[in-house]
Each structure stands twice: as structure tokens, then as C-alpha cells.
Amino acid sequence: MFCWKSAFYQNNWMAVYFSQVSLPLTLAICAGASQISPDGKCEWKISMDLSYKRSGMEIDMVEDIKRLKEEKDVVILAHYYVDGKVQEIADYVGDSYFLAKKATQVKQKNILFCGVSFMGESAKILNPEKKVIMADKLADCPMAHMVDIDKIHEVRKLYPDVSVVCYVNSTAEIKAESDVCVTSSNAMRIVQKLSNQHIFFIPDNNLARYIAKKLPEKKFIFNDGYCHVHKSIDRESVQRAKELHPAALVLSHPECTEDVLDISDFIGSTSEIIDFATASDAKEFIICTEMGVFYELEQKNPGKRFFSVGHRQFCPNMKRITLDKVKTALEEMEPELTLDEAMRVKANKPLARMLELAQ
């Protein structure tokens, strides 16, 4: 018999991993490929079919989306972690920093955001005159809520010279209480530029510790927030993947835990991981971040192979966003994201400072 180890199914691809109990073979089933190891070891891989052959209904839906966004003067912004079919129809796809910056540059009067709520909030904070629509109003980021205002006030009392550095993965309320925002791609250079000795980095603990190791001259106060996707990527799984693919380079997001970063060949933001893999002469990579990035990696590198380390590398909130929800949002121009104006003005200061210091 086989013992169920783990499984994941999402958006027309599947990865199933079984561990051997009594039969002579261990089976791994992947999209478009099956691997059976005679010695009983599971040589599993993630081999994603990213050609995204559309059904007739989806083809019609895409045409409707194109028509509606032109008719209603809408630009579609999408994060790398949403479904590949959604990335394919977006006007701009990127990480949090790119999308925040791009939101200030687009000429359209309306923004349809294919991402989680804090991303839409950032777009609205920076563009109060534009209408911001979310593809799914329930798509949220748990880490964005892993710090509260009272804790910020408490730290400010204990450390009068502190700079509250707020990861962009946070709510508008938290941004309004912060001194500067950062993303994983610009956190290092922004914190370096701050004159403050004490840094309260919120809400992510792992990214904070990664930056703190690089900047020993700063005194960091850590929060206990985390991304459940990156925290689920453990050292043992990475090592197992490395044993199966010894030629592969390990590319990790700094939201991963320190023990995973210690065995990584490259550490960077989502966009930096894509850029590194594209520029590298290597042909195989183990990717330690959310699986949505595989779409862009495959698009830019059709001759290279990318491997996951486990079934939990997906964000269910990002995967809430589908083509039909994009179409509905365009038809109804809802749900609109709105913010209290006084709070928006306060939250704009650390975001604007981020864009200034990140130059």
C-alpha cells in the first residue's frame, strides 16, 4: 500500500508525492511527467505545463477583458504570485515594489489590482484621484495583520531615536504609524540610508533578521510576523530537493527562515530571483518562494528547469484571483477600495519616502 505524504492541485497542474510502505516502487506523479524510481526513492519534481491552452469560453473571456479595460480606461496590475492565466492578461506584472511604483506612472484613470488587499491599498494611497478596484475583495495577506499600533507606540517610547521600518506587506493603518516603507528588493539600501541607529522592522521577522545580519551597525528590534508560505519551506525539504537535483542552484526569498537562507545559492526578492535565473548559465533551479513565480520563470527561460521543494508553496489568497473575477470586476467596476482620507495622507508619507530613498 502507499501512504499519503502530500498533494497539491491548482490551475490544471498537479504534484502528488507518496512515500513507500510495502510496494517495491515509489511513485511521483507530476503534470505531464511521471517518474518511478526502481530503488524506491521518490524522485519527484514540479514540472508545470505553462502553455495555458485556453478553452473556447476562456478565449471569449479574455477578449471581453481586453475590450472592457479599453472601454473603461482601466490598467490591470498583477503580482507574480497570482495564477499564470491572470498574469498573461495583465498590463503589468511584478513584485510589490514594481507595482507600487508603476501605480504612480500609469495614465489610466482606473486601476484593477490582481493581488492581495495591502497592494491595492498602496496603489490607492499613492493615487487618491484614481479608482482602485480589487479583483477579489477577500484576498488578504495574514502577515499584514501581524503587528498592532499599540506595539509600535510601545517601541517608540522605549527607543526615542527608533525608525519604524514598515514592510509594504502591511495594512494602511500600520503604514500610517511608520516612518518609511520597504519591500524585499529595496529594504537593504533604504535601511542603510537611515541615520537612526535603532530599527523596528515590521511585520516580518525573517526579512528583518536577514537585513540585520547585513547591517550589524544597526540595532534591530524584531517583530514576530511571518509569511506562512515562506515559513513552510523547511531546510530538510530543500536538502532533499538538492539531493535529487545536485546541479540545481537554490534561489530563496528573504522571507524564508534563516536555516533555509544559509543553504541557498542566491537570496533575493521575487523579481531578483527571476532576473538571477534568467542571467545565470545554470540550467536547473530549486525555487524557494511562492509557486506563482514559475509562470514568469518559464516564460523567460523555456530551456531551463525549475523545481519546487514542497506542496505548501502556494498562497491561497493570491490564488483566489481568477479570469472570471477579473471580468466581473471590469463589468461592475467593483469592489472599489476606499480609504479614510486622513489615514491615507499619513500612510502616503512612508510610501513616498520609500520611492524617494529607493532611487
Same domain, 249 and 297: yes
Q: How many domains does the chain have?
A: 4
Predicted local distance difference test score (pLDDT) of residue 53? 62
Same domain, 203 and 352: yes
Residue that is written with C-alpha cell 471569449 in the block: 60
CATH number, domain of 241, equals 3.40.50.10800
- The parent domain of residue 8 ranges over 2-37
In this predicted model, what pLDDT tens digit does every residue of 89-104 receive, in sequence order? 999 999 888 898 899 9
Residue at 303 is within a domain: yes
More confident residue, 32 or 221: 221
Same domain, 132 and 150: no
243, 286 in Cβ contact below 8 A? no
Predicted local distance difference test score (pLDDT) of residue 21? 25
Same domain, 28 and 76: no
In 3D space, the residue among 118, 132, 273, 124 whose CA is nearest the CA of residue 202 turns out to be 118
Does 12 have pLDDT greater than 90? no
Residue at 94 is within a domain: yes
Residue at 73 is within a domain: yes
Same domain, 133 and 61: yes
**Measured between alpha carbons, how far is 346 from 298 in angstroms, rounded to an integer?**
40
Same domain, 149 and 105: no
Residue at 237 is within a domain: yes
Residue at 199 is within a domain: yes
Give kind and range of the element (H or E) at residue 152.
helix 149-158
Residue at 49 is within a domain: no
Lowest mean pLDDT among 30-39, 120-129, 220-229, 241-250: 30-39
Largest CA distance in the chain: 66
In this predicted model, what pLDDT tens digit does every residue of 94-144 receive, in sequence order? 988 889 889 999 999 999 999 999 999 999 999 999 999 999 999 999 999
Render 47-113 in DSSP notation, one character per residue. Answer: ------PPPHHHHHHHHHHHHHHHHTTEEEEEETTS-HHHHHH-SEEE-HHHHHHHHTT---SEEEE
